[in-house]
Amino acid sequence: MRIGLFLGSPPKLDELVAGVRSAHDNGFKAVWVAQIFGLDALTALAVAGSQVPDIELATGVVPTFPRHPGMLAGQALTVQAATGNRLTLGIGLSHRPVVEGMWGYPWDKPARHLREYLEALVPALRGENLAYRGETITSIGQIGVAGVTAPPVLVAALGEQTLRITGRLADGTVTWMVGLRTLADHTVPILTGAAEAAGRPAPRVAVGLPICVTNDVDAARARANKSFAIYGQLPSYRAMLDREGAANPGDVAILGDEDEVRSGVRAIADAGGTDFAASVFGSPEEQARTTALLAEIAAGR
């Protein structure tokens, strides 16, 4: 299993570059950057990747609704050109309160939107000449960026419909707030079954979870519940927590001493995870311990 660091959405570009460089120097295989309400994740990764070599650069995730698939394809391929083809393009639907309340787009049949988006995006990334006309998305023409390859596309798919669409049309999923039992019993079987039925390779399953090496598990869990409280309120994440039987985000976090956390990371692979996007949190000391342990795991020690 590939171990990467989830850097969130740093407020300053130099902080993101420093985070990518630190991850590289500590032997991590990937960094994951969110697209929230600050830095443009793809632009920032192009800058960071042009300065830091030999580490995968992944978005976790870029929302689809405000970006036409042709425009996103052009931006992603430009990142490939800037970084030597090291991008993994994570995309997602975002959430109804954001899509409707902040951007003014109708949250109408989101699974249809995702299917049409992927049907237009994936061929565009391959440089194909498109004449795509869906019910809600039209994409005509060709994106030409020389000397690059199409990045893998991972989808923040949580529910059954989106997992099946992802398995058929994309390269895998990137999850957040999905517990290990849900991963093993829901996410992986549905995703891999859809990929197999479509004749596609085994999909990647990138698992994002909070993680903290600590001597005080109760305090760390309380901190996680506070820091990640919003994810217990957004409907899509709430559904995954409910499926897991988790009352709060801290209940799916990986917590404990070095041995317990090492076992927790191993359990992700046992549940079907191919990648771990580790969201390190806690006090400065706890974060240092956690990062050191993850670096050991990434190095195979």
Q: Which domain holds residue 273?
A: 157-301
Query: pLDDT-derived band of residue 284, with 50, 70 and 90 as boundaries?
Result: very high
With pLDDT > 70 as the criterion, what percentage of the chain qualifies? 100
Task: Give the pairing type, strands 172-176 and 130-133.
Answer: unpaired
Residue 234 lies in a domain: yes
Q: What CATH number is attached to the domain comprising 252? A: 3.20.20.30
Residue type (1 letter), 186: H
Residue 200 lies in a domain: yes
* HSE-up of residue 119 (Cα within 13 Å, Cβ side): 17
| 197 lies in some domain | yes
Query: Above 90 in pLDDT, residue 143?
Result: yes
d(CA 172, CA 189): 12
At residue 200, φ and ψ (nearest 5 deg) are -100, 160
Q: How far from chain centre, in Å, is Cα 88?
A: 9
Number of structural domains the chain divides into: 1
Taking Cα atoms as reference points, which of 207, 206, 221, 214 lies closest to residue 260?
Answer: 214
Rounded to the nearest 5°, which phi and psi values hold at 285? Answer: -65, -45
Q: Rounded to an integer, what distance in angstroms lies between the CA atom of residue 158 and that of residue 274?
A: 16
Q: How far apart, in Å, are the Cα atoms of 176 and each of 79, 92, 106, 277?
A: 24, 11, 24, 9
The closest alpha carbon to 277, from 256, 298, 251, belongs to 298
Classify residue 179: in a domain, yes or no: yes
Burial class (CB in 10 A: 0-12, 13-18, 19+), 26: middle
- pLDDT grade for 301, boundaries at 50, 70 and 90: confident
Nearest CA to 119 among 192, 69, 175?
A: 69
Radius of gyration of the chain (CA): 18
The tokens describing 211, both together, are 């993680």
pLDDT tens per residue across span 76-116: 999 999 999 999 999 999 999 999 998 999 999 999 999 99
The phi, psi pair for 136, rounded to 5°, reads -125, -15
Is 223 within a domain? yes
pLDDT exceeds 90 at position 150: yes
Question: Angle formed by the axes of helices 41-51 and 13-25, to 10°?
Answer: 50
Q: Judge contact between 33 and 103, C-beta under 8 A.
A: no
The two structure tokens encoding residue 81: 């050109």
Residue 139 lies inside a defined structural domain of this protein: no
For 26-82, write each residue's pLDDT tens digit. 999 999 999 999 999 999 999 999 999 999 999 999 999 999 999 999 999 999 999
Kindly state the average pLDDT of the residues 266-270. 98
Average pLDDT over all residues of the chain? 97
Residue 257 belongs to some domain of the structure:
yes
Give the pLDDT score at 149: 97
Residue 300 lies in a domain: yes
Give the pLDDT score at 94. Answer: 95
Name beta bridge partners: 189.
Answer: none
